[in-house]
A = this chain, B = another copy of it.
Protein backbone atom coordinates (compact mmCIF):
# COMPACT_ATOMS: atom_id res chain seq x y z
CA UNK A 1 0.00 0.00 0.00
CA UNK A 2 1.30 3.43 -0.88
CA UNK A 3 1.15 5.62 2.23
CA UNK A 4 1.26 9.40 1.85
CA UNK A 5 2.38 11.51 4.78
CA UNK A 6 -1.04 13.17 4.72
CA UNK A 7 -3.07 9.96 4.49
CA UNK A 8 -6.65 10.56 5.67
CA UNK A 9 -7.55 8.51 8.72
CA UNK A 10 -10.68 8.25 10.80
CA UNK A 11 -9.83 7.54 14.45
CA UNK A 12 -12.79 6.49 16.58
CA UNK A 13 -13.01 6.48 20.37
CA UNK A 14 -15.81 6.28 22.91
CA UNK A 15 -16.52 8.55 25.85
CA UNK A 16 -17.03 7.90 29.53
CA UNK A 17 -19.96 5.54 30.16
CA UNK A 18 -22.12 7.79 32.26
CA UNK A 19 -25.36 6.84 30.50
CA UNK A 20 -26.82 3.82 28.71
CA UNK A 21 -26.09 5.65 25.47
CA UNK A 22 -22.39 6.28 25.00
CA UNK A 23 -21.11 8.92 22.59
CA UNK A 24 -18.47 7.86 20.08
CA UNK A 25 -16.34 10.43 18.28
CA UNK A 26 -14.69 10.10 14.90
CA UNK A 27 -11.65 12.33 14.41
CA UNK A 28 -11.01 12.71 10.68
CA UNK A 29 -7.28 13.33 10.43
CA UNK A 30 -4.78 14.30 7.81
CA UNK A 31 -1.77 12.13 8.65
CA UNK A 32 -0.50 12.74 12.17
CA UNK A 33 -0.96 16.49 12.27
CA UNK A 34 -4.23 18.03 11.29
CA UNK A 35 -7.82 17.50 12.40
CA UNK A 36 -10.09 18.03 9.40
CA UNK A 37 -13.45 16.90 10.70
CA UNK A 38 -15.41 15.49 13.62
CA UNK A 39 -18.16 12.84 13.60
CA UNK A 40 -20.44 11.90 16.48
CA UNK A 41 -22.73 8.93 17.03
CA UNK A 42 -24.14 6.99 19.97
CA UNK A 43 -23.85 3.32 20.83
CA UNK A 44 -25.40 1.31 23.64
CA UNK A 45 -23.43 0.48 26.77
CA UNK A 46 -22.71 -3.28 26.68
CA UNK A 47 -24.93 -3.46 23.59
CA UNK A 48 -24.43 -5.14 20.22
CA UNK A 49 -24.86 -2.12 17.95
CA UNK A 50 -21.34 -0.63 17.72
CA UNK A 51 -20.37 -2.31 14.42
CA UNK A 52 -23.52 -1.23 12.58
CA UNK A 53 -23.44 2.28 13.95
CA UNK A 54 -19.79 2.75 12.99
CA UNK A 55 -20.48 1.44 9.47
CA UNK A 56 -23.39 3.84 9.11
CA UNK A 57 -21.43 6.79 10.56
CA UNK A 58 -18.57 6.18 8.12
CA UNK A 59 -20.70 5.58 5.02
CA UNK A 60 -22.98 8.57 5.66
CA UNK A 61 -20.09 10.94 6.25
CA UNK A 62 -19.16 13.57 3.69
CA UNK A 63 -15.56 12.51 4.36
CA UNK A 64 -16.27 8.88 3.33
CA UNK A 65 -14.62 9.07 -0.08
CA UNK A 66 -11.50 10.66 1.42
CA UNK A 67 -10.94 8.23 4.31
CA UNK A 68 -8.20 5.66 3.59
CA UNK A 69 -8.05 3.85 6.95
CA UNK A 70 -10.21 3.50 10.03
CA UNK A 71 -8.36 3.33 13.34
CA UNK A 72 -9.91 1.85 16.47
CA UNK A 73 -8.87 1.81 20.11
CA UNK A 74 -9.49 -1.90 20.83
CA UNK A 75 -12.46 -3.97 19.62
CA UNK A 76 -14.86 -3.42 22.52
CA UNK A 77 -16.41 0.00 22.96
CA UNK A 78 -18.85 1.28 25.59
CA UNK A 79 -18.11 -1.61 27.90
CA UNK A 80 -18.36 -4.84 25.89
CA UNK A 81 -20.10 -3.69 22.73
CA UNK A 82 -17.93 -5.68 20.28
CA UNK A 83 -16.69 -4.33 16.96
CA UNK A 84 -16.48 -6.65 13.98
CA UNK A 85 -13.59 -5.24 11.98
CA UNK A 86 -14.08 -7.69 9.12
CA UNK A 87 -17.66 -6.54 8.71
CA UNK A 88 -16.56 -2.91 8.76
CA UNK A 89 -14.07 -3.68 6.00
CA UNK A 90 -16.70 -5.62 3.99
CA UNK A 91 -19.25 -2.83 4.27
CA UNK A 92 -17.00 0.19 3.77
CA UNK A 93 -14.10 -1.26 1.73
CA UNK A 94 -11.84 0.59 4.17
CA UNK A 95 -8.99 -1.11 6.01
CA UNK A 96 -9.26 -1.15 9.80
CA UNK A 97 -6.34 -0.93 12.23
CA UNK A 98 -6.96 -1.72 15.89
CA UNK A 99 -4.41 -0.02 18.15
CA UNK A 100 -3.79 -1.14 21.73
CA UNK A 101 -1.14 0.08 24.12
CA UNK A 102 -1.00 -3.33 25.75
CA UNK A 103 -2.01 -6.87 24.81
CA UNK A 104 -5.69 -7.43 25.75
CA UNK A 105 -6.33 -9.72 28.71
CA UNK A 106 -8.58 -12.32 27.06
CA UNK A 107 -9.14 -14.25 30.29
CA UNK A 108 -10.53 -11.14 31.91
CA UNK A 109 -12.68 -10.39 28.87
CA UNK A 110 -14.13 -13.92 28.82
CA UNK A 111 -15.01 -13.66 32.49
CA UNK A 112 -16.69 -10.28 31.99
CA UNK A 113 -18.73 -11.63 29.08
CA UNK A 114 -20.29 -14.29 31.36
CA UNK A 115 -22.50 -11.59 32.81
CA UNK A 116 -23.78 -10.41 29.45
CA UNK A 117 -26.34 -11.75 26.96
CA UNK A 118 -25.08 -13.24 23.67
CA UNK A 119 -21.69 -13.99 25.18
CA UNK A 120 -20.71 -16.52 22.46
CA UNK A 121 -21.48 -14.02 19.73
CA UNK A 122 -19.51 -11.29 21.48
CA UNK A 123 -16.57 -13.61 21.96
CA UNK A 124 -16.67 -14.66 18.33
CA UNK A 125 -16.68 -11.04 17.12
CA UNK A 126 -13.74 -10.20 19.39
CA UNK A 127 -11.80 -13.21 18.04
CA UNK A 128 -12.55 -12.19 14.48
CA UNK A 129 -10.12 -9.27 14.81
CA UNK A 130 -7.40 -11.88 14.29
CA UNK A 131 -3.75 -12.13 15.22
CA UNK A 132 -2.26 -9.56 17.55
CA UNK A 133 1.07 -8.16 16.42
CA UNK A 134 3.45 -6.33 18.69
CA UNK A 135 5.29 -3.18 17.71
CA UNK A 136 8.65 -2.97 19.39
CA UNK A 137 10.82 -0.03 20.32
CA UNK A 138 10.71 2.70 22.96
CA UNK A 139 6.99 2.90 22.58
CA UNK A 140 5.62 -0.67 22.48
CA UNK A 141 2.07 -1.27 21.27
CA UNK A 142 -0.12 -3.99 19.75
CA UNK A 143 -2.22 -3.95 16.62
CA UNK A 144 -4.76 -6.06 14.82
CA UNK A 145 -5.94 -5.24 11.32
CA UNK A 146 -8.13 -6.15 8.40
CA UNK A 147 -7.97 -5.21 4.72
CA UNK A 148 -4.36 -4.05 4.92
CA UNK A 149 -0.93 -5.69 5.02
CA UNK A 150 1.04 -5.84 8.24
CA UNK A 151 3.86 -3.56 7.14
CA UNK A 152 1.47 -0.85 6.00
CA UNK A 153 -0.50 -1.08 9.24
CA UNK A 154 2.64 -0.63 11.33
CA UNK A 155 3.80 2.19 9.08
CA UNK A 156 0.53 4.09 9.49
CA UNK A 157 0.59 3.72 13.27
CA UNK A 158 4.16 5.01 13.47
CA UNK A 159 3.55 7.82 10.96
CA UNK A 160 0.63 9.16 13.00
CA UNK A 161 2.13 8.76 16.46
CA UNK A 162 3.50 12.29 16.41
CA UNK A 163 2.79 13.92 19.76
CA UNK A 164 2.47 11.12 22.32
CA UNK A 165 2.54 7.32 22.46
CA UNK A 166 -0.87 7.08 20.76
CA UNK A 167 -1.68 7.79 17.11
CA UNK A 168 -3.04 11.33 16.81
CA UNK A 169 -6.45 10.37 15.37
CA UNK A 170 -7.11 8.27 18.49
CA UNK A 171 -5.55 10.71 20.95
CA UNK A 172 -7.69 13.54 19.63
CA UNK A 173 -10.88 11.42 19.36
CA UNK A 174 -10.35 10.55 23.02
CA UNK A 175 -9.84 14.18 24.11
CA UNK A 176 -12.99 15.24 22.29
CA UNK A 177 -15.11 12.32 23.54
CA UNK A 178 -14.18 12.79 27.19
CA UNK A 179 -14.20 16.60 27.04
CA UNK A 180 -17.63 16.81 25.51
CA UNK A 181 -19.22 14.32 27.89
CA UNK A 182 -17.45 15.24 31.14
CA UNK A 183 -16.98 18.99 30.52
CA UNK A 184 -13.21 18.56 30.46
CA UNK A 185 -11.04 16.01 28.70
CA UNK A 186 -9.09 13.54 30.79
CA UNK A 187 -6.69 10.60 30.65
CA UNK A 188 -5.38 8.83 27.60
CA UNK A 189 -7.12 6.89 24.85
Interface residues of A (CB under 8 A from B): 23, 25, 33-41, 61-62, 163, 172, 175-176, 178-185
Contacts and interface: CB of A to CB of B under 8 A. Distances in A.
A183 B37 contact: no
A37 B182 CA distance: 12
15 contacts: A33-B33, A34-B163, A37-B179, A38-B178, A38-B179, A38-B180, A39-B179, A39-B183, A39-B184, A39-B185, A40-B181, A40-B184, A41-B183, A176-B176, A176-B179
Nearest to A174: B38
Given A62-B184, A180-B180, A172 B35 contact: yes
Contacts of A175: 35-38
Nearest to A26: B179
A184 B35 contact: no
A181 B41 CA distance: 10
Of listed A39, A178, A181, residue having the most chain B CB within 10 A = A39
